[in-house]
Amino acid sequence: MGTIVLTSYLSHGAPTSLVERTGIHAVYERLGQALTARGVDTIVVSSPHYFSRGNFQVESRESVPCIQDYYGFPEQLYNFSYHAANNLTLVEEIVRSSAEKGLEVVRSQSWGLDHGAWLPLYFMFPERNVRVVPVSVNTADPETHFKFGEAIREAVGRTEGTFAVMGTGSPVHRLDLMRFGYYGEEKFESGEKFDEKLIDSISSGETGALLKISEEFPSLFHAAAPEGNLNPLYIALGAADRKEFVGKTLYHGFMYYGVSLIAAVLSAEQGLWSSLSGRDKKESGSHTPG
């Protein structure tokens, strides 16, 4: 029986995060080292850039290609490729478990690893030594994405191996406010307030509060314009083991003024969490060109 040893919500930042190092990169590396030491062989990743209409999708090619889904950035960002092997057994179980829950999941061969997926994976697993299963988000409500996460957890239980589930995206995603290259102390105030509410909700472990955050704080949610409406977070939350829920934020900061970066562990196997403990305080964003 397969086991999910970690569920997380990680921001990927702009494509320039490949060469502009911030505090979140050290968290990627620590998580990757801990997961490698635990023997994790498959990552299920939900990026807000993998979007489908009317159904969910799961990439079903044997080899998952890199997608450079961005335009107008420095040339060096296009001389890069991160691809991974898929876990086709899990793909089939996700389709089956989802159907049993009344969710339509389509096997896709038209996507891959967009920068919402490959950016964290590049720093977590530079040796490309894990399989990756990308799953989409869609226009459905938070509860439906949570249900899809539950289906993923049940699918893992029907397979063999050691797994992690990762949702990605920025809670504050105001591209209209972005100041490229800015890493100063000034923060987008409404965005910072929204992130505080989100971090508190993650810490509380109250699933209902997280699923209803857009209704509880509508003006802050609107001001923050969360990437993918937080749906990758809800998928990871649905896949989380409530008995091993820790709800810890390992990193929080801003890049370019209008985009926030967060690294939050939702659930973690006790042995894995002990290797990360003592690093759960919110940190201010720092920047070092790489």
Instruction: Assess whether pLDDT exceeds 90 at residue 163.
Output: yes
In angstroms, the CA 194 to CA 196 distance is 5
pLDDT of residue 71: 65
In angstroms, the CA 37 to CA 15 distance is 28
- In degrees to the nearest 10, what's the CA dihedral of 149, 155, 157, 158? 170
pLDDT of residue 282: 44
Task: For the chain, count helices (H), then strands (E).
Answer: 10, 12
pLDDT digits (tens, 9 = 90+) for 88-120: 999 999 999 999 999 999 999 999 999 999 999
Confidence of residue 279 (pLDDT cuts 50, 70, 90): very low
pLDDT of residue 265: 96
Q: What are the residue ranges spanned by the domains of the chain?
A: 3-289
Give the largest CA-CA distance in the chain: 49
CA distance to 17, 50, 99, 112, 188, per residue, from 259 (Å): 12, 19, 36, 24, 9
Which ranges constitute the DSSP H helices of the chain?
23-38, 88-100, 115-124, 142-157, 189-204, 207-211, 213-216, 218-224, 231-239, 270-274
Question: b or e along 92-110 (b: 16 or more beta carbons within 10 Å of the residue's beta carbon)?
Answer: bbbbebbeeeebebeebee
Q: Report strand pairing: 162-168 vs 3-10.
A: parallel
pLDDT digits (tens, 9 = 90+) for 224-269: 999 999 999 999 999 999 999 999 999 999 998 999 999 999 999 9
Confidence of residue 276 (pLDDT cuts 50, 70, 90): confident
pLDDT of residue 180: 81
Question: b or e along 150-160 (b: 16 or more beta carbons within 10 Å of the residue's beta carbon)?
Answer: bbbbbbbeebe
Mean pLDDT of all residues in 126-140: 96
Q: Which CATH class is domain 3-289?
A: alpha beta
pLDDT of residue 80: 78
Mean pLDDT of all residues in 164-192: 91
pLDDT of residue 288: 38
pLDDT digits (tens, 9 = 90+) for 43-60: 999 999 999 998 999 999
